[in-house]
Structure 1
Amino acid sequence: MFIAQAYRAQNGFWRYLIGSLIIFIASGIGQIPLLVAIFIKKGPELMQGMDESDIFSTLSKNLTFFLILISFVFALGGILFVVKFLHQQKFKDMVTTRSKFDWGRAWFAFGLVTIFTVVTTLLTYYFAPEDIALTFDPVPFAILVVIAVLFVPIQTSVEEFVFRGYLMQGFGILAKNRWFPLVMTSVIFGGMHYFNPEIDAMGDIVMVIYIGTGFLLGIMTLMDEGTELALGFHSGNNLIAALLITADWTAFQTDSIFKDISDPRADFTDILPVFIIYPIFLGILAYKYKWTGWKEKLFGPLEPPQEPSLEDHLVAD
């Protein structure tokens, strides 16, 4: 069982609290290059009270995008340090129950969300051209492709390692069940996005999408006994979104192919995909990977793995 692999490590919950703090500090250190760049460009007196839209107008979009993503490289270093030295755990055990990482699963989930995102964006551009403008500029876009392909998978992997790996196992060991870590990691994952500019532009209802996405990725992880599907899905979602479409009110503003120029206000219809499309995604994955035991894997108790008894050793001998 995926969560139970944490029993092989140093798993006192205080270690997860300290580990989370270390990862947070590492991420904060990684934001220093962005702050230095803004300081050089604007000066210290203009940095106070700047929001994300000010940051993107201060530096070029590609440079800002690159400097934002650099912080996740530092966070990844923090994760590797915490897992190895604080928990004395094999990194693989925090990622999957399989003997090695299943790239086939990651690529399938990547392709699934990529096809959906590309198709829905093109359909919107065709049927509602007043809402999406074609802004393709080959040189900035080529630079964006290099930055995004290299660093967006690191950004999404860091988030998955933290929420669907590290904290999923930590909360599971604490509560000794599966539903508590699923709920906690999904709510915290959504809450981490609360200060994104999308919330100011579209309203708090967008939190349903963020928290719902957390549940989607968490269910993938628990049902599949590993993070491969969540890693592939999250990477595909963010990478294709960064390359395909941007807006003035999004957390990542890029030199993408299209730009959303519609009114960003959201209502109930905008969150329907959480209740319609996400279950379809899960249904496709469940069919392909033959998931069974939903109740046990999502709501069942968590028991420490049984150590082989002396009698078992004698029988084996």
Structure 2
Amino acid sequence: MNFIKQAFHVKHEFWRYLVGSLIIAVFAIIGQVPFAVAAIVKYLREGGSITSVEEQDLMTVLEPNLNLFLMLLSFAIGFIGLIIVVKYLHNQTMRSVTTARPKIDWKRILFAFVFWGIVSSGMILIDYFANPEDYVLNFQLNRFLILALIAVLLIPIQTSLEEYIFRGYLMQGFGLLAKNRWFPLIMTSVIFGGLHVFNPEVGKLGYGVMVYYIGTGLFLGIITLMDEGMELALGFHAANNLFGALLVSADWTVLQTHSVLKDISEPGQGFGDIVIPVFIVFPILLFIFAKKYNWTNWNDKLFGNIEEPIVEDIKTID
């Protein structure tokens, strides 16, 4: 069955997707309370004033491992909100938000995770050996082990929540609204990229980096539509964030961790930062995935219409 079209068989009025998105956002905001409280309390204990809290970057107040744990906690709470919305607002299963296949294909998730983990780690190491002056060794065993535990447990939840919202939940919602496949692809990619505008990377690199975020959203949306499921996107996104958090961090990134390496270079916004990932690496990955999974009929899967069933059967998909 068509990944988007199968959502016709559950409660799919568009107002449900608006309300559902709000509920998920509320859960995620509630999940941010422990981080905000811990950061403000520590800041005040160290002599800061309550009037300057808004000007203080609270992301740098806490110890990096505690900071990462509390920051990722909000995604875990948000994921609970997502499950509640899917089950009770739409009478839908998580499987049907994930894939059009009878079962979630864990081999696809694992392949994308391992493949991109190896490639992305290799790219980091190549840059390290090519430009050693841009890095310092940041490895501290005890802190790294704690980081690894937090990252392995929570980063896949963070990335999965983002994928379920944009490549699953809203992809289906916008698809049923527009009755085509290109509109949800564009909308989810723009919204996904737009939400990253608050990342410190944008403040450091400028708004041109939004091309990378929106381009990443397009890439993940394309592999979801072509593969009739978001398994590849789940694996790719988890590997991208997990290996990045473990291997390298920088003072100007959203994830500041006790990683193996620390990037001390002055970031640029040119060819290597935007053009290579979006216009070279992602197309190569699309070619590899297409060959491995025998993707065909690109025009219809990316731009085709979605026809609503004549007789609508509102039941939960098993």
Please state which band the TM-score falls in when normalised by the shorter chain.
Answer: over 0.9
**After superposition, what is the alpha-carbon deviation per residue over 1:114-152, rounded to whole angstroms, capped at 9, x for unaligned?**
111111111111110111211111010000000000000
287, 295, 301: which one aligns with 1:283: 287
CA RMSD of superposed structures (Å) = 1.4
CA distance in 2, matches of 1:125, 1:211: 27
182, 185, 200: which one aligns with 1:197: 200
CA distance in 2, matches of 1:91, 1:58: 37
Would you say the 8 A contact 2:40–2:53 is kept in 1?
Answer: no
117, 138, 141: which one aligns with 1:135: 138
Distance change >3 Å, CA 260–CA 46, structure 1 → 2: farther
Q: Counterpart amino acid of 1:292?
A: T
1:45 corresponds to which residue?
A: 50
* CA-CA distance at 1:99 after TM superposition: 1.1
CA distance in 2, matches of 1:140, 1:55: 21
CA distance in 2, matches of 1:47, 1:63: 22
1:161 corresponds to which residue?
A: 164
Q: Counterpart amino acid of 1:290?
A: N
2:315 corresponds to which residue?
A: none
**After superposition, what is the alpha-carbon deviation per residue over 1:199-219, rounded to whole angstroms, capped at 9, x for unaligned?**
111111111110000001000
SS of 1:259 mapped into structure 2:
strand
* CA-CA distance at 1:46 after TM superposition: 5.8
CA distance in 2, matches of 1:38, 1:26: 20
**TM-score, scaled relative to structure 1:** 0.94
CA distance in 2, matches of 1:46, 1:196: 23
218, 235, 239: which one aligns with 1:236: 239
1:313 corresponds to which residue?
A: none
CA distance in 1, matches of 2:297, 2:196: 32
**Does 2:293 match 1:292?**
no
Q: Counterpart amino acid of 1:278?
A: F
1:179 corresponds to which residue?
A: 182
2:306 corresponds to which residue?
A: 302
Would you say the 8 A contact 1:186–1:212 is kept in 2?
Answer: yes
Which runs of no fewer than 5 residues in structure 2 stay unpaired? 313-318
Would you say the 8 A contact 1:23–1:79 is kept in 2?
Answer: yes
CA distance in 2, matches of 1:197, 1:302: 38
SS of 1:168 mapped into structure 2:
helix
* CA-CA distance at 1:306 after TM superposition: 5.6
Would you say the 8 A contact 1:203–1:265 is kept in 2?
Answer: no
Distance change >3 Å, CA 177–CA 204, structure 1 → 2: same
Q: Counterpart amino acid of 1:265?
A: G
SS of 1:89 mapped into structure 2:
coil
Q: Counterpart amino acid of 1:297?
A: K
SS of 2:196 mapped into structure 1:
coil
CA distance in 2, matches of 1:57, 1:161: 29
**Does 2:228 match 1:225?**
yes
CA distance in 2, matches of 1:95, 1:58: 37
SS of 2:197 mapped into structure 1:
coil
* CA-CA distance at 1:301 after TM superposition: 0.2
* CA-CA distance at 1:47 after TM superposition: 6.1
**TM-score, scaled relative to structure 2:** 0.93
**After superposition, what is the alpha-carbon deviation per residue over 1:213-239, rounded to whole angstroms, capped at 9, x for unaligned?**
000100010000001000000000000
CA distance in 1, matches of 2:150, 2:51: 28
Would you say the 8 A contact 2:40–2:58 is kept in 1?
Answer: no
Would you say the 8 A contact 1:55–1:64 is kept in 2?
Answer: no
SS of 2:136 mapped into structure 1:
strand
SS of 2:212 mapped into structure 1:
helix
SS of 1:130 mapped into structure 2:
helix
**Does 2:12 match 1:11?**
yes
SS of 1:256 mapped into structure 2:
coil
**After superposition, what is the alpha-carbon deviation per residue over 1:13-61, rounded to whole angstroms, capped at 9, x for unaligned?**
111001000000000000000011123212370663245xx32431100
**Does 2:248 match 1:245?**
yes
SS of 2:152 mapped into structure 1:
helix
CA distance in 1, matches of 2:199, 2:52: 18
Q: Counterpart amino acid of 1:283?
A: F
2:214 corresponds to which residue?
A: 211
* CA-CA distance at 1:112 after TM superposition: 1.8
* CA-CA distance at 1:269 after TM superposition: 3.7
Q: Counterpart amino acid of 2:50?
A: E
1:311 corresponds to which residue?
A: none
Q: Counterpart amino acid of 1:45?
A: I
Would you say the 8 A contact 1:39–1:47 is kept in 2?
Answer: no
